[in-house]
Amino acid sequence: MTVHRQPASVAALSEADLLARIFPRLAMAGAHSEATLLGPGDDAAVVAAPDGKTVISIDTQVQDQDFRLEWPNGYRTTGFDVGWKAAAQNLSDINAMGATATSLVVSLTLPPDTPVSWVEDLADGLTAGITGLGAARCSVAGGDLGRGREISVTVAVLGTLEGNAAVLRSGARPGDVLALAGTAGHAAAGLALLESTVNVDALGESERVFLDLQCRPRPPLAAGPAARAAGATAMLDISDGLLRDGLRLATASKATVDLDPARLQALAEVLRPASVLLGADPMAWVLGGGEDHGLLATFPAGVQLPPGFAAIGSVLALGSNESPSVMIAGRPADAGGWDHFAH
């Protein structure tokens, strides 16, 4: 009788053995992708860039900063969650340029006691995130593995503009319509639930959906290229909150961003199941919550907004001596959102 034992932790495996466990789970690498010309196995990968340029971004998730392995409400973050979120965050940055992801490379830092099954689950989540979010042309082209005291997952992602110009933050013009694709505040509501004492098992489906979105964000990947094609003048993804990211767009465009309170109220209304449960102000989540990875874009007035976008405000000219800012119906809005170092 043969006994198959699952190694308990990554310390029991060589780097090559661990890679051999991960690669089959990144099934798309080199297979589905037309873009990956040379996948894992050499010192570097080679990715197609048919129009002669490559969009690139990089993003890191660190244990106990970007996720907790166990949350106050009892939820345990799975490797699948972390893999999905790594894909989602990075794919969103490509989306925000109006581009389409072609390839990503992953650097994993793992404490020696990390269960092998957790890492396999992470690989599954990465693949599921790419597939589930609709990044059908994207594959994992390569990566790096190392030790550390805390889990850290860095992804660099490449994308293609297919011959088009990127949509920058700086192109918004007075009179433009400000529009949102995707959700706002759902991930923040989910974070509040995770950090609450309301046990995860006690959550109903109408609250659980927010927790799920915090752990496995769903950026609207079709919306970025659609916005570019529709003539978006400026765009960025909302990773740090509507106010903070709105201010970035306003600053880059030297303009004022004015939000429509009725639209904000409608966005807050959706969060009611979680805000009632926690006795929280849903508007703080709408204005300050990032990590939904929705898109904030501006379009010339009169342009038909592409599918997935809804108007939430407008772009105003700067008055003399005015600094770029975010307003709500013409009144200053407090800057909130997330800052990695000062909060």
Is 161 among the residues that bind a copy of itself (CB under 8 A)? Answer: yes
Residue type, 62: V
DSSP character for 185? S
Is 20 among the residues that bind a copy of itself (CB under 8 A)? Answer: no
* CA–CA gap between residue 126 and residue 86 (Å, rounded): 7
Is 334 among the residues that bind a copy of itself (CB under 8 A)? Answer: no
* CA–CA gap between residue 333 and residue 54 (Å, rounded): 37
Is 122 among the residues that bind a copy of itself (CB under 8 A)? Answer: no
The residue from 83, 129, 143, 289 that contacts a copy of itself (CB under 8 A) is 143
Can you point out the beta strands (E) in 172-300?
Answer: 177-181, 234-237, 256-259, 295-299
Q: Which strand (E) or helix (H) includes residue 151?
A: none
Shortest Cβ 124–a copy of itself spacing (Å): 20
Q: Which stretch binds a copy of itself (CB under 8 A): 67-75, 86-94, 180-188, 272-280?
A: 86-94
Residue type, 148: G
Shortest Cβ 179–a copy of itself spacing (Å): 17
Shortest Cβ 282–a copy of itself spacing (Å): 26
Is 100 among the residues that bind a copy of itself (CB under 8 A)? Answer: no
Q: Which of residues 235-254 bind a copy of itself (CB under 8 A)?
A: 236-237, 252
Of 245, 215, 274, the C-alpha closest to 338 is 245
* CA–CA gap between residue 145 and residue 143 (Å, rounded): 7
Is 5 among the residues that bind a copy of itself (CB under 8 A)? Answer: no
Is 132 among the residues that bind a copy of itself (CB under 8 A)? Answer: no
- Shorter beta-carbon distance to a copy of itself: residue 66 or 121: 66
Is 113 among the residues that bind a copy of itself (CB under 8 A)? Answer: no
The residue from 26, 97, 286, 287 that contacts a copy of itself (CB under 8 A) is 97
Q: Which of residues 24-53 bind a copy of itself (CB under 8 A)?
A: 37-38, 41-53
Shortest Cβ 261–a copy of itself spacing (Å): 27
The residue from 69, 145, 200, 222 that contacts a copy of itself (CB under 8 A) is 145
> Token pair of 321, please?
């001596």
* CA–CA gap between residue 125 and residue 111 (Å, rounded): 19
Is 136 among the residues that bind a copy of itself (CB under 8 A)? Answer: no
The residue from 21, 23, 27, 54 that contacts a copy of itself (CB under 8 A) is 54
* CA–CA gap between residue 243 and residue 231 (Å, rounded): 23
Is 335 among the residues that bind a copy of itself (CB under 8 A)? Answer: no
* CA–CA gap between residue 55 and residue 102 (Å, rounded): 9
User: CB–CB of 261/329 below 8 Å?
Assistant: yes
Please, which residues have CB within 8 angstroms of residue 73's CB and are 6 or more apart in sequence? 193, 194, 195, 196, 197, 198, 199, 200
The residue from 20, 24, 74, 147 that contacts a copy of itself (CB under 8 A) is 147
